[in-house]
Chains A and B, each alone.
Chain A
Amino acid sequence: MPPKGRIAVNEMYCKGCELCVNACPQHVIALAADRITAKGYHPAALVKEGCTGCAICSVVCPEAAITVWREAVRRVPA
């Protein structure tokens, strides 16, 4: 099973350039057509299940607007 991840886009920084949308290997990011940011852009958002937390979106993001988390399985000796 692929790892599960999630992203949060800081809409103060996001300018809707779509670089993350195009770079996402899982195709789970899209611009949110239903809202605009204070600067007037449709912000990027996670719109589907399937994020693996690969962080490629954050690598291409020119605004450092994306925070990425991934679930990690840690083995804990009982």
Chain B
Amino acid sequence: MVMSDIQEEVVYQRPVSLENTVTHYCPGCTHGTAHRLVAEVLDEMGIREKTIGVASVGCSVFAYNYINTDFVQAPHGRAPAMATGVKRVMPDRFVFTYQGDGDMASIGMGEIVAAAARGENITVIFINNTNYGMTGGQMAPTTLPGQKTTSSPTGRDVEVQGYPVRAVELLSTLDGASYAVRRSLHDPKNIRMAKKAIRTAFEVQARGLGFSVVELLSICPTNWGMTPDQALNWLEQHMIPYYPIGDFKVHEAIANLRF
């Protein structure tokens, strides 16, 4: 005879690797989503106590308040260099940077390219929301052609202001990069894919395979002047055509990892 017993089980709860702190992010900002995914991955891999984060400058400057690991705070754009310094003296620690598009793809382009070229065994979480959020929505290297920002008020004119940077594609051309992918945070399916990519990036680091970067297409409802829901739609309709979701470099040693 078999009896059935109905029990309630927890399907989802806040990860331990996330601090019990209210974020300063605007309602709907996907920085929070990205933080949460990193924290979930650290929990799953059981590496919270072996991880050192490197916060950058921009809205994510306070990432160290929210992700529950040891943290250092880099000057604007220099997180990959600082992460290099940490990793080289503590090679058995997991070291990741968390950088926005202005930080990584503009002022920090030198440091990120050099770190990738060296095959530095660090993980980079790159948030692309097409503008400088912290300073109030100025044009970023990732601002789309025609997109209005507070420093491109009539829309980005590529004849004058140049073209957006597809950063992970660029980094993927370097032999030192073992994992370079783009994901999006605009719907549940893509968020799940993003988490798998972040997990894979940390697995790359665990195996000592070198540089890993995950670009996360994100929204900035406040500076875009939209509701969070409108912003998600805008991301899907305008950003993904310019910044395709995909794997641009995947080291063969982790190509078949499944989580």
Chain A positions near chain B (C-beta within 8 angstroms): 5, 10, 12-13, 15-19, 22-23, 39, 41, 53, 55-56, 58-78
Contacts and interface: CB of A to CB of B under 8 A. Distances in A.
Interface in B185-205: 187-188, 191-192
Contacts, number: 107
B13 A67 contact: yes
Contacts of A78: 1-3
Contacts of A69: 8-11
A76 B4 CA distance: 6
B8 A56 contact: no
Contacts of B13: 67-68
A12 B232 CA distance: 24
B27 A15 contact: yes
Given A67-B10, A78-B2, 4 more contacts: A15-B27, A18-B228, A72-B6, A76-B2
The majority secondary structure among interface residues of chain A is: mixed
Given A12-B22, A13-B22, A60-B188, A75 B3 contact: yes
A19 B191 contact: no
B145 interface: no
B28 A55 contact: no
B36 A66 contact: no
A68 B12 contact: yes
Contact of A59 (B28, B32, B39, B191): B191
Interface string B17-36: 01000110111111111001
Interface size of B as a range: 35 or more
Given A59-B188, A60-B188, A64-B36, A72 B8 contact: yes
Interface of B: 1-15, 18, 22-23, 25-33, 36, 39, 187-188, 191-192, 221, 227-229, 232
A66 to B, nearest CB: 7
Given A60-B33, A62-B33, A70 B9 contact: yes
27 contacts: A18-B28, A18-B229, A19-B228, A22-B229, A39-B22, A41-B27, A53-B11, A55-B11, A58-B11, A59-B191, A60-B33, A62-B23, A62-B31, A62-B32, A62-B36, A63-B32, A67-B14, A69-B10, A69-B11, A70-B11, A71-B8, A72-B8, A73-B5, A74-B6, A75-B2, A76-B2, A78-B3
B65 to A, nearest CB: 13
A72 B32 contact: no
B23 A63 contact: yes
Contacts of A18: 28, 227-229
B22 A17 contact: no
